[in-house]
Structure 1
Amino acid sequence: MKSQTVSINDDDAFITLLSVETNEPFHVDLLHFRLVMGTLAIDNEDLDSDIYLALGLKRLGKGAIGTPRILTLLSSLLEKSVQKNEMQIETVSAKVNIAIFHGLRVPTISIRQYIDRIFKYARCSPSCFLVAYIYLDRFGQQTDVLLTSRNVHRLLITSVMVAAKFIDDTYFNNAYYARVGGISTAELNRLEMKFLLSLDFRLQVSINTFQRYCLQLQKEGNQVERPIRACGIKESWPSKSDTQCAPTIAR
């Protein structure tokens, strides 16, 4: 790797590297850095790959603004999955939920708003959302549970929290995540344990798996890019001074 470590910003969960060739700093998500450093087969081209930049897992400078693109793509993918599953449920007898994750009512907050809220207040690294999606996929394979509008919010807050604990250097406790997610601490504790047991505690994500899911999200992005731009939504990174966390609902 033709770069050397300069500093680590725990607030953003990004590591700053200094290019030996250009002497210019660039920023990489801590998870991606750990994966690269722990895999001998990864070279500098992988570290500088456009896909990580496109998904918001890598930034070119501290002045970069905007919500990581991975949040938009993930919300779009989950929304499509929920719509497809609920259409399937209407026509066939399908196993749709594990009772503990199934809410009594559909939350009024959308998947996109919920993901943005988690990112804003939990301040976990963008890679947490990709790893959380990998966990959700594993959860579905292990349990045959389908994502629906009644369980997706609980599964999201649980999977992101578990991912943050596993890959980030710093993270908030369950009580804080419960407040962000709009559920009680006791309930989130139960959700976390059920989620981990369903995954058989398999939380490790290989570099090949990480890259495969990145490509999947990038492919999704190519399909939704025009509609997103047409909306004209102006996005920005959460302010570090914005520490207030008002309760939401996931009931």
Structure 2
Amino acid sequence: MAKLRFEVSIDFFRLAMATLAIDTEGVDSDIYRALGFKELGKGAVGTPRILSLLSSLLEKSVQLNETESETVNFKDNVAIFHGLRVPTISIRNYIDRIFKYAACSPSCFLVAYVYVDRFVQQTDVHLTSLNVHRLLITSVLVAIKFIDDAFFNNAYYARVGGVTTAELNSLEMSFLFSLDFRLQVTVNTFQRYCSQLQKETSDIHQIERLIRACGIKDSWPSKSDTQRAPTISR
């Protein structure tokens, strides 16, 4: 019975992918280009700016949550994403690795960001260093299947993400059901998240210019510490 439910849900997911693919033609071209979507298509050589922005936001979210967890006991509502130990690879290097080997379009990472934000709101999970990597590989996997024309099987993405195929299958199913299979990302939603990322970067640059103008150094946190995540930091 469990196998049948799995196969039915996968068929439903494939139907959703075939009928609800995102159309990014209506997205503001300046913002789209600024995040590295215009110049870099699927399989292109180079690093789109979305990768560094996303990693910075996630790192800041994890840092804020783990600092807060010292005084507040967070409950892990989706234990399957909670690892036993912190991965040795950083969030930034992990995102770069996924982009390098997954051969997906840069837009997948923005859509994955939308999915993680929905997941966090739906489950009230707090991003930590013990769950962020699993959420990343799972959300990117789902985004690839949803918006890209071609993709590898789960066994391949499991190797990329450093998990077993069985584990990634379970993570994918848990993620999909937590989202209620709500995978469609409209043009307006896509542009709103693009603008959000762009605004975060502009705010960060203003803070850095102020720090340099005031000659403040050691008493201030580093660049990565000053970056703030929007709704995803829970």
Give the TM-score category using the shorter length: 0.7 to 0.9
Contact 2:40 2:46 in 1 (8 A): no
- Which residue is equivalent to 1:159? 139
CA positional deviation for 1:225: 5.4
Which of 129, 151, 154 is 1:149 aligned to? 129
Contact 1:51 1:214 in 2 (8 A): yes
- Which residue is equivalent to 2:173? 193
Which of 201, 206, 224 is 1:221 aligned to? 201
Contact 1:96 1:147 in 2 (8 A): no
Q: Report the CA distance shift for 1:157/1:65 in structure 2 as closer, same or farther (over 3 A).
A: closer
- Partner SS state of residue 91, structure 1: coil
Higher strand share: 1
Contact 1:72 1:112 in 2 (8 A): yes
Which of 102, 113, 120 is 2:82 aligned to? 102
1:95-124 CA deviation, whole Å, 9 max, x = no partner? 245211000000000000000000000011
- Which residue is equivalent to 1:175? 155
Contact 1:128 1:160 in 2 (8 A): yes
Q: Report the TM-score when normalising by structure 1.
A: 0.69
Which of 52, 69, 82 is 2:62 aligned to? 82
Which of 132, 135, 139 is 2:119 aligned to? 139
Q: Report the CA distance shift for 1:164/1:125 in structure 2 as closer, same or farther (over 3 A).
A: same
Query: 1:1-251, aligned counterparts within 5 Å?
Result: 34-36=23-25, 42=26, 46=27, 49-59=29-39, 66-224=46-204
- In 2, Cα distance between equivalents of 1:65 and 1:189: 29
CA positional deviation for 1:87: 1.2
- In 1, Cα distance between equivalents of 2:169 and 2:111: 20
- In 1, Cα distance between equivalents of 2:205 and 2:48: 14
Contact 1:100 1:191 in 2 (8 A): yes
Q: Which runs of 5+ in 1 are unaligned?
A: 1-30, 37-41, 228-251
Higher RCO (CA < 8 A, seq sep 6+): 2
Contact 2:61 2:127 in 1 (8 A): yes
Contact 1:97 1:146 in 2 (8 A): no
Contact 1:134 1:213 in 2 (8 A): yes
Higher helix share: 2
Give the percent of matched residue pairs that are identical in Structure 1 and Structure 2.
75
Contact 2:86 2:129 in 1 (8 A): yes
CA positional deviation for 1:59: 1.4
Count of residues in correspondence between the two structures = 186
